[in-house]
């Protein structure tokens, strides 16, 4: 009897370990490469933690939100890992994953390229007429992910920091029909495009002491969107420098605000 009891305990521990490892495996970014005929783009993807339980009600497929994350200049390269550096604590948090199951995709901008081809250290910008090659590839990747997975197309969001903040402003200007909300952090954009941002829920962040990207870039954009008839949210951190995303990602209601947005 003792022998069988011990076997039962061992089996139970093994089952618990397998389940635990399965949950951990699901809760990690997976490295992938998106390829077209001429180009390729490194990216990471995080799947919803309950993806395998993708039915609810009367056998209906569960559709999940999708977050596109655009990293900053310091995470450019080809290691296909650095681009998730600043969002791991937020999206790999098991409580957040369970409360807000979603797909998260994080492409990596190649070294010496930008999401938007402009000088981000200046105040005031005129966005280039053409979308950058890397951002266009990112949109093609986004479309492919949506096509192949259980995505709620009314709940696609973009978050960007620094260089990626510029990318977030740019992508919702060029493709406003795709996004239900945007969180541009310490970025900038073209105030003359404010009409394009007007109907998209935006929560922007910037530090008042930013020495890399002038805080006036976000201030001017927010004012322009308001004048155009929009209702953007704006949080400015007093005496905080460029890395204000560390504070933004700790805002208690950030994900709650994001996930209630719907087209």
Q: pLDDT of 197-213, one tens digit each? A: 999 999 999 999 999 99
Confidence of residue 20 (pLDDT cuts 50, 70, 90): very low
Residue 194 lies in a domain: yes
**Beta-ladder partners of 184:** 160
Q: How far apart are the first and last CA of the chain?
A: 61
Q: In sequence order, which ranges of the chain are alpha helices (DSSP H)? A: 2-26, 88-91, 94-99, 133-148, 163-174, 194-197, 215-227, 245-248, 254-260
Full-model pTM: 0.87
Q: In what order do the strands lie in the sheet with 151-161?
A: 30-35, 40-46, 103-107, 64-70, 151-161, 181-185, 203-207, 233-237
- Identify the pLDDT of residue 26: 53
Mean predicted confidence (pLDDT) in 224-248: 97
Q: pLDDT of 32-42, one tens digit each? A: 999 998 899 99
Domain count, the chain: 1
The answer to whether 48 touches 102, Cβ cutoff 8 Å, is: yes
Query: What's phi and psi for 65, nearest 5 deg?
Result: -65, 160
Least confident of 9-13, 43-47, 64-68, 128-132: 9-13
The answer to whether 157 touches 178, Cβ cutoff 8 Å, is: no
Confidence of residue 127 (pLDDT cuts 50, 70, 90): confident
Rounded to whole angstroms, the Cα distance separating 215 from 235 reads 11
Unique residue bearing structure tokens 């460029």: 242
Q: Does position 238 have pLDDT exceeding 70, yes or no?
A: yes
Contacts of 129 (CB under 8 A, 6+ apart): none
Least confident of 2-11, 156-165, 251-260: 2-11
Supply the range of the domain harboring residue 80: 29-260
How many angstroms from the chain centroid is the CA of residue 13?
Answer: 37
Confidence of residue 124 (pLDDT cuts 50, 70, 90): confident
Residue 39 lies in a domain: yes
The answer to whether 242 touches 217, Cβ cutoff 8 Å, is: no
Mean predicted confidence (pLDDT) in 20-24: 42
- Identify the pLDDT of residue 225: 96
Confidence of residue 59 (pLDDT cuts 50, 70, 90): low
Q: Does position 2 have pLDDT exceeding 70, yes or no?
A: no
Q: Does position 125 have pLDDT exceeding 90, yes or no?
A: no
Share of the chain above pLDDT 90, in %: 78
Cα angle, residue 161 at apex, residues 64 and 219 outer, rounded to 5° = 110
Confidence of residue 120 (pLDDT cuts 50, 70, 90): confident
CATH classification of the domain holding 211:
3.40.50.1820
Closest C-alpha to 137, from 40, 12, 13, 260: 40
- Computed over every residue of the chain, the mean pLDDT equals 88
- Identify the pLDDT of residue 27: 72
Share of the chain above pLDDT 70, in %: 87
Rounded to whole angstroms, the Cα distance separating 39 from 22 reads 33
Confidence of residue 235 (pLDDT cuts 50, 70, 90): very high
Least confident of 52-66, 135-149, 244-258: 52-66
């Amino acid at each position: 009897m003792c022998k069988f009891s011990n076997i039962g305990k061992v089996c139970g521990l093994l089952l618990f370990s397998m389940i635990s490892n399965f949950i951990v495996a699901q809760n990690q970014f997976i490295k992938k490469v998106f390829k077209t005929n001429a180009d390729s783009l490194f990216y990471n993807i995080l799947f919803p933690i309950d993806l395998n339980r993708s039915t609810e009600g009367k056998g209906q497929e569960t559709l999940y939100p999708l977050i596109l994350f655009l990293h900053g200049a310091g995470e450019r390269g080809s290691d296909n890992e650095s681009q998730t550096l600043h969002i791991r604590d937020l999206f790999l948090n098991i409580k957040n994953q369970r409360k807000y199951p979603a797909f998260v995709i994080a492409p990596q901008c190649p070294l010496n390229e930008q999401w938007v081809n402009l000088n981000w250290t200046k105040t005031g910008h005129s966005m280039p007429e053409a979308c950058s090659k890397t951002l266009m590839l990112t949109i093609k990747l986004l479309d492919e992910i949506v096509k192949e997975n259980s995505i709620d197309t009314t709940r696609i969001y973009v978050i960007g920091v620094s260089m990626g903040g510029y990318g977030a402003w740019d992508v919702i200007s060029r493709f406003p029909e795709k996004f239900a909300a945007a969180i541009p952090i310490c970025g900038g954009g073209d105030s003359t495009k404010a009409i394009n941002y007007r109907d998209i829920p935006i929560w922007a962040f910037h530090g008042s002491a930013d020495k890399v990207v002038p805080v006036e870039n976000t201030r001017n954009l927010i004012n322009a969107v308001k004048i155009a008839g929009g209702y953007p949210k704006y949080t400015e951190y007093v005496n905080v420098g460029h890395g204000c995303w560390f504070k933004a990602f700790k805002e208690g209601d950030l994900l709650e605000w994001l996930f209630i947005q719907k087209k």
